[in-house]
Amino acid sequence: MTNKKEIFAGIIVIGNEILSGRTQDTNTSTLSIWLNSLGIKVQEVRTIPDSEKIIVETVADLRKKFDYVFTTGGIGPTHDDITASSIAKAFNLKYGPHKEAMDILEKYYKPGEFNKGRQKMAWMPTSAELIYNPTSGAPGFNVENVFCLPGVPSILKSMLGGITHKLVGGKPILSQTINLKTVESEIAKSLSNVQKNNKEVDIGSYPFFRAGKLGVAIVLRSDVQSQIDKCNLEIIKFVKEKNIEIVEKD
């Protein structure tokens, strides 16, 4: 894997509350930005329900397709938190109390507070490696290239530093944004020509409405700064020719 130029990842967002709209998913953005900084490109994101069959099938599929897979959600103490048992089934591993996780949580809670419900957070594939949790004690875990993280955004974010050393990335993905006071149809042809001349740069255009201004954000992404710079110059050239205003990001 260390010889590969590009390293790819998939993200599996698990939870009926995400699919119902009751809870907004922000973890995908957090994970994607973090992985990009490590030179790991997110190629696919799937949002799935709390269903053992679907979790097992999705994990089995993505772990073969990508270098790394990250799951979020479903590793808490409630009855519908079934990610850990489903991962054990996906890998055909024993599911039960993880000795080190039990030790961590026993020390984390005051005497008598580590009840049966909380003990469930230490149940996982018994051979899994732990992902330590500096915020609320309950660890995540990984089996081979699958990393299982909690769904609470602040807790997930606090745990990422503890797994950076486990990942082998490529070149960090660099990005630059150009905000224009225009509409996509006005720049579509010119932007298409720039993309043809710069196939090694990923160019995205995203409409925005901010502070009463309608515009388009052009995002350039590559692992080579000089490629971004070249692409940027070509865009600025046609922007000036069309007398399009460049707006500052708020």
Instruction: Confirm if 102 and 120 have CB atoms less than 8 A apart.
Output: no
At 80, the pLDDT band (50, 70, 90 cuts) reads confident
For 197, phi then psi, to 5°, come to -85, -10
pLDDT score recorded for residue 211? 66
Q: How confident is the model over 64-91, as a mean pLDDT? A: 95
Taking the C-alpha atoms of residue 32 and residue 36, their distance in angstroms, rounded to an integer, is 6
- Beta strand 68-72 pairing with 7-14: parallel
Percentage of residues in the chain with pLDDT exceeding 90?
Answer: 82
If we measure between CA atoms, which residue out of 207, 200, 237, 206 comes closest to residue 221?
A: 200
Q: How confident is the model over 169-174, as a mean pLDDT? A: 84
Taking the C-alpha atoms of residue 124 and residue 88, their distance in angstroms, rounded to an integer, is 7
At 2, the pLDDT band (50, 70, 90 cuts) reads very low
Segment 81-106, tens digit of pLDDT: 999 999 999 999 999 999 999 999 99
pLDDT, mean over the chain: 92
State whether residue 10 is helix, strand or coil: strand
| 35 vs 171 pLDDT, higher one | 35
Segment 201-223, tens digit of pLDDT: 999 999 988 767 789 999 999 98
At 249, the pLDDT band (50, 70, 90 cuts) reads low
Query: What domains can be seen in the chain, in order of their start residue?
Result: 7-166 (3.40.980.10), 174-246 (3.30.70.600)
